[in-house]
Amino acid sequence: MTPATDSPLPAVTRLIATDLDGTLLRDDKTLSDRTIAALAAAEEAGVEVFFVTGRPTRWMDVVSPHVQGHGMAICANGAAVADLHDGRLIKVRPLDRSTAVGVVDILRGVAPGVSFAVELSTGIHYEPAYPPFHMDPGATVAVAEKLLHEEAPGTGTPVLKILAHHPELAPDSFLALARELAGDRASFTRSSPTALLEISALGVSKADTLAECCAERGISPGEVVAFGDMPNDVEMLSWAGASFAMGNAHPAALAAASGVTLTNNEDGVAVVIERILAAR
């Protein structure tokens, strides 16, 4: 699809919601000078910017200096709202541990070779076969059932999401299989180019948490412009009054968005922000 950066914008834009990896960030995981300038200009113009990502709070250093006065970011695909000024979690929407164990059991049965990681509100832990997180050297390595065990119901640290990795399955096929067999128990999505599923509590998504944050501010969907590139952005792109898939986006994101902008390496988000501010 040819980028159409002249797609319609809301009459009034009060909030910009943007994914990070593959969207706001370039492939080298940095922000360009043009993007930094666009974010600063939006803030000066009174347009709130929310970073809405699958990343955990501890991986937000790349954008923390550019968060606005509100300081908040939506992390873990909507399972957490964090204050990037101090790293504190303001809101958590946890995945029930017994539900998580049930989902793990289902995926082990239908996808031999799958391995799991458990993202808690305090950090990530993973199984011996799971690709190691070099950014998290303090992780506990154990089977998922042990990582999810708690002495008494409700006493464990909140689970933000489960990650399920398969070394051979096609990513979209793995996602479709998981949704078919366990979609009534939890929310499944993906943001990685590999067969890596991200599993949250049922009903949790970027869009659902963003809608709550907007409602608290009296901002309607029609006053929001959203950006994304992967299946975990689909609900947000569909919910916002105007939305842009990146030129490098997954087909599901392209289908959900109302417009298409340039790729992440071409500053596609900044290009649209500049349009928004020029029209004010």
Domain range for residue 217? 15-92+205-278
d(CA 75, CA 258): 24
For position 117, which CATH number holds? Answer: 3.30.1240.10
What are the C-alpha distances in Å from 17 to residues 7, 39, 126, 228? 17, 11, 30, 9
> 184-243: per-residue pLDDT in tens?
999 999 999 999 999 999 999 999 999 999 999 999 999 999 999 999 999 999 999 999
Q: pTM of the full predicted structure?
A: 0.95
Q: Do 266 and 231 lie in a common domain?
A: yes
Q: Do 162 and 248 lie in a common domain?
A: no
The alpha carbon dihedral of 101, 102, 108, 114 has a sign of: negative
Query: What's the structural domain count of the chain?
Result: 2
Q: Do 221 and 262 lie in a common domain?
A: yes
> 26-79: per-residue pLDDT in tens?
999 999 999 999 999 999 999 999 999 999 999 999 999 888 888 899 999 999
At 115 the three-state DSSP class reads strand
* Nearest CA among 178, 166, 175, 185 for reference residue 98: 185
